[in-house]
């Protein structure tokens, strides 16, 4: 555990709802009880106005920052941006991250036991949507006694949840930061999702989703799905920089089918290690939720979807080398938000890192998000909780912006 600027050792909590009345899903199906795993970092101020919800991407979890045990080798998935003095400054803000509905990190999903049968749901789990994921997050906020978030932020599928929050629960948030995302999954994104799903279906160990009690999981198929994903998270340029045509160990071509190129080794390693941490059925359900995501589906236009979001302040961010969610997707969002008169800042950040940039451009993100949140807290008169160790008897007031806007 690296102590410096870390939130330290954190704990995963769970919250269960829909125990009596089931949760009504967008599909018309019902689900209950529903458990949501979540973590929190920092402290809520007395007015309960400094809460920020972090929403994660396809394979993320509630463990966004800190360490579960002091000897953990790796911190949470967005630790570089969440902690004391970081982009989401836990000295000032109360940061919440929950695992999405349908995932496999403590929230109810296809690998959960269906109380009606005593067996894992498998494919009997209902198809969930981005809207359903957000609905579960709303329940969590109710449970935590937070009426209004200062901000909801996330990249990729996280960004879709951010847009869903702003469109359908605008009174529950002051600001929204959708990063490297889209308001509707493009056919190319659907195509990549579908190839991943087909790789899982093609694995005989998938057993139509009922593999949990068979002693064998569809690891081969899931690994291929993840490898496809990994290619789309990088850019041609970042692959060129990171791997080029370098061979793993040989000086000369081996003229056989072993893993030879470094890029092959990288993909294989990431594909295989993913199978040790993720559930194949969750991969199916979550990619399906992304494919279904189309913010203007019920309203006809994106601007109409944002009709009630004019009071939400937006920071929209895209990255120049992200070919999975190209900048023009974000520009469409900005255009729709501008049409309804929302307060929008938009940045198309120069980066060679492709879609992964939202996780890798830490310095830029720290300056940019920090500055946006500073200004917001100042404008909204948000008080910060007392600094630990200090005993000033009152909350600190929000300071004027300190960081430089990029």
Catalytic residues: 156, 322, 355
Concatenated DSSP letters for 5-54? Answer: T---B---EEEEE-SSSPEEPTTS-EE-SEEEEEEEES---TTS--EEEE
| Cα gap 23→36, rounded to integer Å | 13
3-state helix vs strand vs coil in the chain, percent to 5: 35, 15, 45
- Least gap, CB of 341 to a second copy (angstroms): 27
- Least gap, CB of 204 to a second copy (angstroms): 6
| Spatial contact of 363 and 393, defined as CB atoms under 8 Å apart | no
Residue closer to a second copy (CB basis): 123 or 362? 123
The token pair at 374 is 């500073």
| Spatial contact of 36 and 105, defined as CB atoms under 8 Å apart | no
Residue closer to a second copy (CB basis): 26 or 380? 26
H/E segment holding residue 318: strand 313-319
Residue closer to a second copy (CB basis): 56 or 288? 288
Instruction: Choose among 246, 285, 288: nearest CA to 265.
Output: 246
SS3 96: strand
Where on the chain is the footprint of a second copy (CB under 8 A)?
27-29, 123, 126-127, 184-188, 190-192, 194-195, 197-199, 202-204, 220-221, 223-224, 227-228, 230-231, 234, 236, 239-240, 242-245, 253, 255-257, 261-264, 267-268, 271, 284, 288, 291-292, 294, 323, 326
Concatenated DSSP letters for 326-387? Answer: -HHHHHHHHHHHHHTT-EEEEEEE--SSGGGHHHH-HHHHHHHHHHHHHHHHHHHTPEEPPP
| Cα gap 372→374, rounded to integer Å | 6
Residue closer to a second copy (CB basis): 158 or 271? 271
List, in sequence order, every beta strand (DSSP E) within 124-283.
Answer: 151-155, 175-179
- Least gap, CB of 100 to a second copy (angstroms): 17
Residue closer to a second copy (CB basis): 73 or 214? 214
| Spatial contact of 81 and 93, defined as CB atoms under 8 Å apart | no
| Cα gap 214→77, rounded to integer Å | 31
- Least gap, CB of 312 to a second copy (angstroms): 26
- Least gap, CB of 21 to a second copy (angstroms): 21
Residue closer to a second copy (CB basis): 244 or 397? 244
Q: Tell me how many degrees the CA angle 227-68-278 measures, rounded to the nearest 5.
A: 25
The token pair at 191 is 């195509």
| Cα gap 250→242, rounded to integer Å | 18
Residue closer to a second copy (CB basis): 87 or 223? 223
Residue closer to a second copy (CB basis): 91 or 264? 264
| Cα gap 40→15, rounded to integer Å | 13
- Least gap, CB of 331 to a second copy (angstroms): 14
- Least gap, CB of 398 to a second copy (angstroms): 42
**Cα 179 from chain centroid?**
10
- Least gap, CB of 330 to a second copy (angstroms): 14
């Amino acid at each position: 555990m690296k102590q410096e600027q870390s939130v330290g050792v954190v704990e995963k909590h769970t919250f269960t709802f829909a125990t009596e009345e089931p949760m009504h899903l967008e599909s018309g199906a019902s689900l209950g009880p529903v458990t949501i795993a979540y973590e929190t970092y920092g402290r809520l101020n007395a007015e309960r106005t400094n809460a920020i919800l972090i929403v994660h991407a396809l394979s993320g979890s509630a463990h966004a920052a800190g360490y579960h045990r002091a000897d953990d080798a790796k911190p949470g998935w967005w630790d570089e941006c969440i902690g004391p003095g970081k982009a989401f400054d836990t000295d000032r803000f109360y940061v919440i991250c929950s695992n999405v509905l349908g995932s496999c990190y403590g929230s109810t999903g296809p690998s959960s036991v269906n109380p009606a049968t005593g067996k894992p749901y498998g494919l009997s789990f209902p198809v969930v949507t981005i809207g359903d994921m957000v609905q579960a997050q709303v329940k969590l906020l109710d449970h935590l006694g937070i009426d209004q978030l200062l901000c909801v932020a996330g990249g990729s599928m996280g960004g879709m949840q951010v847009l869903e929050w702003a469109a359908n629960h605008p009174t529950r948030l002051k600001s929204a930061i959708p990063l490297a995302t889209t308001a509707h999954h493009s056919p190319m994104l659907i195509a990549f999702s579908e190839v991943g799903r087909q790789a899982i279906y093609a694995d005989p160990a998938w057993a139509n989703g009922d593999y949990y009690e068979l002693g064998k999981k569809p690891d081969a198929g899931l690994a291929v799905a993840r490898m496809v994903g990994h290619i789309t998270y990088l850019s041609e340029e970042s692959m060129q920089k990171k791997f080029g045509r370098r061979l793993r160990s040989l000086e000369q071509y081996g003229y056989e089918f072993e893993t030879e190129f470094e890029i092959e080794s990288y993909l294989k390693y990431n594909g295989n290690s993913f199978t040790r941490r993720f559930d194949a059925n969750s991969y199916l359900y979550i990619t399906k939720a992304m494919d279904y995501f189309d913010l203007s589906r019920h309203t006809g236009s994106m601007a109409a979807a944002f009709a009630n979001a004019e009071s939400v302040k937006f920071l929209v961010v895209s990255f120049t080398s992200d070919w999975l969610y190209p900048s023009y997707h974000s520009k469409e969002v900005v255009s729709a938000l501008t049409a309804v008169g929302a307060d929008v800042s938009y940045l198309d950040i120069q980066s060679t890192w492709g879609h992964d940039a939202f996780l890798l451009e830490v310095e830029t993100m720290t300056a940019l998000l920090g500055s946006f949140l500073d200004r917001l807290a100042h404008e909204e008169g948000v008080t910060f909780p007392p600094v630990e160790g200090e005993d000033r008897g009152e909350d600190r007031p929000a300071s004027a912006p300190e960081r430089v806007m990029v």
